[in-house]
Structures are given as structure tokens and as C-alpha cells.
Chains A and B, each alone.
Chain A
Amino acid sequence: EAGVTQFPSHSVIEKGQTVTLRCDPISGHDNLYWYRRVMGKEIKFLLHFVKESKQDESGMPNNRFLAERTGGTYSTLKVQPAELEDSGVYFCASSQDSANPSTDTQYFGPGTRLTVL
């Protein structure tokens, strides 16, 4: 079974440009999460999708960030325009059934390292 995949693995852009990150969750997982880790700090929650609906977007830093999950499969996270402080590693995770803690877990992708110059 394929794990969570993310593309690209690295992205280097100039301040003011736009970047789109993509996440493909594990097939059949309705729950999809975005997290971000800024240089050496904790991994912080950004938002949570259930299928195509945003369940919780309380962690989104500001309106320069837009997440979508059309059709309830893969998700994109767009940063427009990018600022220096957006640099970090963006992780995506997916889970199947968030109502059963004995069997459920969040599976994480390898992350996208974003550098804004």
C-alpha cells in the first residue's frame, strides 16, 4: 500500500511568488491534515479536511494560505504571495477513521521543504 506522498520534496522561490504544494493521502483515507514546521520549532497544525470539507482550519496563519481538496482525494496548499517567514517544512498526514482510537492513526508524508528567499 502506498503511503502519503507529497510533491515537490523541495521548493525554492522568491518572496512575492506563488507556490503550490500537493499531498496525495493514502487511498481511502477521508481525513487529511496539513502541518508546518518552521526551522527547528514544533510541528504545528494548519488544517484538517474530512473528504472535501474543511473541518478545522484554525491553524492557518493568514489569508495568503489557501488549501483545497476537490473531490476529496488529493489536496493542494497554495501560498500567495509567499513571505520569508513561510519557509519551513510542510507535512501532510491522512487517517481513515478518526472515531476509533484503538486502530486509527495519522500517517505522515515526507514533507515539502519550502525556502522563500
Chain B
Amino acid sequence: AQSVTQPDIHITVSEGASLELRCNYSYGATPYLFWYVQSPGQGLQLLLKYFSGDTLVQGIKGFEAEFKRSQSSFNLRKPSVHWSDAAEYFCAVGPYNFNKFYFGSGTKLNVKP
């Protein structure tokens, strides 16, 4: 069965600290992987995606993610968190034609001053 697990429901980090959000997936075919962010009152914004090639993917806002096939993981990282990064983050997996995404339940990030 296709599924995405985000084991951390809430995470709190201090501004300037590093961040890693975990994502594990189960998918029966070649996975295309995504991270989206939702700020309050906004739609989901794509941070980055992996579909082939280099397993370390750079995204917007200084985020990066690493695809590890052996661990079925696609963890999101940022070296130094800013207060504006406080939001909810969703990991998703989909087929090559992007027609049906499976999302995790989200991780809410709180940033302490």
C-alpha cells in the first residue's frame, strides 16, 4: 500500500538552529517525492521535489532534502531556521505523471526566538 509517514507531529527549534524533518514512504513503483509547506491562511507551496538524478535536492527558502532509497526516506533539512519558517510541512509521494499524491499527516514547526 502507498503511504507516507511523518513521525513528528510538532517540532520546536530555536531561530538559527538547524532543522531536520523526517519522512518515510511506502510506494510500489519509482517514487517521485515532494515537500510542501503551508503557512497560515495560505495554500500549499512546493519547497522541492525529487524525480531522478542527484539524491540531494535543493529547494526554495534554503531547504534541501535527501532521497535515500535504502531507507525509503526523504528528509527535509535547513541549516539555519528563520522565524518565518514556522508553518506546517507536508511530505508527499506520487507516480511519474503526478496524478495522485499520497501525503503524510504533516509536521508543525514552531520557531522560538
**Interface of A toward B, CB cutoff 8 Å:** 3-4, 31, 33, 35, 40-45, 48, 55-56, 58-59, 91, 93, 95, 98-99, 101-102, 104-111
Pick 29 A–B contacts, CB within 8 A, sort by A: A3-B43, A31-B99, A35-B103, A42-B4, A43-B92, A43-B101, A45-B100, A45-B102, A48-B100, A55-B99, A56-B100, A58-B100, A95-B98, A98-B97, A101-B49, A101-B52, A101-B98, A102-B51, A105-B34, A105-B46, A105-B49, A105-B98, A106-B46, A106-B101, A107-B43, A108-B36, A108-B43, A110-B43, A111-B43
Q: Enumerate chain B residues within 8 angstroms of A31, measured Cβ to Cβ.
A: 99
- Choose among B41, B51, B92 the residue that contacts A101 (Cβ–Cβ < 8 A): B51
**Interface of B toward A, CB cutoff 8 Å:** 4, 9, 32, 34, 36, 41-46, 49, 51-52, 90, 92, 96-106
Count of A-B contacts judged by CB separation below 8 Å: 67
Q: Enumerate chain A residues within 8 angstroms of B52, measured Cβ to Cβ.
A: 101
Known interface pairs A98-B97, A108-B36. Does A4 touch B51 (Cβ–Cβ under 8 Å)? no
